[in-house]
């Protein structure tokens, strides 16, 4: 009798274990499935990052490159989202460009998922959501991954005690998997360094006149609601910030420190002819002072602990019960890019960059981000 009970207990435990394996296995596979991006009529070509560095082909470093050619010649802009996949405003601003923008003069090159590997996992012990969902104008839903700041350890492991990046700067070992510490990259380096090298090759081969890295920052981080400019991009950035100020959108102008090796706003400009810029918005869902980290925080940006931190003077941006919702952050990025494009004809060779159908800050605030997405499949 006792033997029979042990037998049934073992069978039950085996069944439970099998169910757990099947469930977690399905979740794991789902995390490696890219969310849909539905190119709009402005997209004239879709390439892959491996077209610029073939060694990435077949890896999670390879990612889509969307090209929007204008009817008339003009300047070329490169826009990178998803450098840090836990900063969703950069991803979503890039996706809106791909799905809505139409170039009349010049050329726009957009990579929404810069570190595609980072979208396949979450940061451990952070309790972050895996997905967030937006509602399109037709009522359909679009689901996107909320990922990690760093490359998936499955693609690059182990982390060294100290990371010496391609420019020779010593950093914490975990920064080994941070794309925005790996520039200008190495063709024979780590997974992250190879992605950085491929992005540099894209900028150089496409002769990008201006290149923008879209980011977010914690409300307690000093460089926030800011545009960080390489010295060759300072005039362009200054005109952009003044234009935004007339729209009542406050954006600080920060100079790229010459010794910030490995970062896009420094290395892109040092290793190519592009005018390199990085933009930051305020994202409570990645901050260290936040409370519960769920999809609601990603979308609404509302957090009582950050309200208290603001009252104590611990933040670098205003923060009240309205928070900093995703629509505000995406709207800031899109309006900043629109102002930047308008300013292009006044710098450098004076070539225009005319891009239409980019929603304004007020439009995104009124209608939300999903309104400007094309209908797409829902991820269960």
**pLDDT tens-place string over residues 136-156:** 989 999 999 999 999 999 999
Residues 11 and 103 in one domain: no
Q: For residue 11, what pLDDT is reported?
A: 65
* Triad 310, 228, 122: Cα angle to 5°: 65
Residues 79 and 134 in one domain: yes
> Which CATH number does the domain housing residue 237 bear?
3.40.630
In a domain? residue 301: yes
Residues 161 and 212 in one domain: yes
Average pLDDT of the chain to the nearest whole number: 93
Q: Rounded mean pLDDT of 280-307?
A: 97
In a domain? residue 226: yes
In a domain? residue 378: no
In a domain? residue 197: yes
Q: For residue 14, what pLDDT is reported?
A: 65
Residues 260 and 290 in one domain: yes
In a domain? residue 3: yes
- The total number of structural domains in the chain stands at 2
CA distance 60 to 371: 30
Q: Rounded mean pLDDT of 253-276?
A: 97
User: What domain range is 7 assigned to?
Assistant: 1-31
| Alpha-carbon 364 to chain mean position | 18
Residues 78 and 141 in one domain: yes
Residues 270 and 317 in one domain: yes
Confidence of residue 35 (pLDDT cuts 50, 70, 90): confident
Q: For residue 21, what pLDDT is reported?
A: 45
Q: What percent of the chain has pLDDT over 90?
A: 87
Q: For residue 379, what pLDDT is reported?
A: 47
Q: Rounded mean pLDDT of 220-227?
A: 96
Confidence of residue 174 (pLDDT cuts 50, 70, 90): very high
Residues 24 and 152 in one domain: no
Q: For residue 25, what pLDDT is reported?
A: 52
Residues 25 and 52 in one domain: no
For residue range 335-345, list pLDDT tens digits in order: 999 999 999 99
Q: What percent of the chain has pLDDT over 70?
A: 90
Q: For residue 3, what pLDDT is reported?
A: 65
For residue range 66-125, list pLDDT tens digits in order: 999 999 999 999 999 999 999 999 999 999 999 999 999 999 999 999 999 999 999 888
| Residue 254 clears pLDDT 50, i.e. is over it | yes
Question: Which of these, 351, 263, 333, lies nearest to 101 by C-alpha position?
Answer: 333
Residues 25 and 43 in one domain: no
In a domain? residue 379: no
Residues 44 and 6 in one domain: no
| Residue 30 clears pLDDT 70, i.e. is over it | no
Residues 58 and 7 in one domain: no
**Which has the minimum average pLDDT: 18-22, 81-85, 266-270?**
18-22
Residues 211 and 266 in one domain: yes
């Amino acid at each position: 009798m006792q033997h029979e009970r042990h037998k049934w207990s073992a069978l039950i435990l085996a069944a439970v274990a099998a169910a757990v394996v099947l469930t977690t296995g399905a979740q794991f596979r789902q995390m490696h499935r890219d969310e849909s991006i539905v190119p709009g009529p402005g997209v004239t070509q879709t390439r892959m990052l491996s077209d610029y560095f073939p060694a990435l082909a077949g890896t999670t470093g390879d990612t889509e490159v969307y090209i929007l050619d204008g009817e008339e010649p003009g300047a070329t802009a490169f826009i990178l989202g998803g450098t840090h996949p836990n900063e969703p405003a950069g991803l979503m601003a890039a996706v809106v460009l791909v799905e809505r923008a139409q170039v009349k003069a010049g050329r726009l090159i957009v990579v929404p998922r810069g570190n595609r590997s980072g979208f396949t996992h979450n940061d451990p012990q952070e309790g972050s959501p895996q997905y967030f969902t937006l509602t399109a104008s037709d009522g359909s839903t679009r689901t996107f991954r909320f990922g990690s700041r760093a490359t998936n350890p499955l693609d690059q492991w182990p982390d060294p005690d100290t990371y010496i990046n391609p420019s020779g700067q010593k950093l914490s070992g975990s920064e080994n998997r941070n794309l925005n510490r790996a520039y200008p990259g190495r063709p024979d380096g780590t997974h992250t360094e190879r992605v950085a090298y491929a992005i540099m090759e894209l900028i150089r081969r496409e002769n990008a006149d201006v290149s923008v890295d879209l980011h977010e920052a914690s409300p307690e981080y000093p460089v926030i609601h800011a545009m960080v400019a390489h010295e060759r991009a300072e005039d362009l950035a200054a005109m952009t910030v003044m234009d935004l100020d007339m729209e009542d959108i406050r954006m600080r102008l920060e100079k790229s420190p010459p010794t910030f090796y490995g970062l896009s706003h420094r290395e892109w400009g040092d290793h190519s002819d592009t005018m390199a810029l990085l933009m930051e918005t305020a994202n409570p869902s990645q901050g260290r002072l936040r409370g519960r980290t769920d999809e609601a925080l990603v979308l609404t940006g509302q957090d009582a602990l950050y309200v208290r931190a603001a009252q104590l003077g611990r933040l670098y941006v205003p923060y009240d019960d309205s928070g900093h919702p995703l629509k505000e952050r995406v709207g800031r990025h899109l309006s900043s890019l629109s102002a930047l494009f308008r300013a292009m004809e006044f710098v450098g060779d004076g070539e225009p960059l005319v891009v239409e159908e980019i929603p304004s800050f007020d439009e995104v605030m009124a209608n939300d981000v999903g309104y400007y997405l094309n209908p797409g499949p829902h991820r269960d």
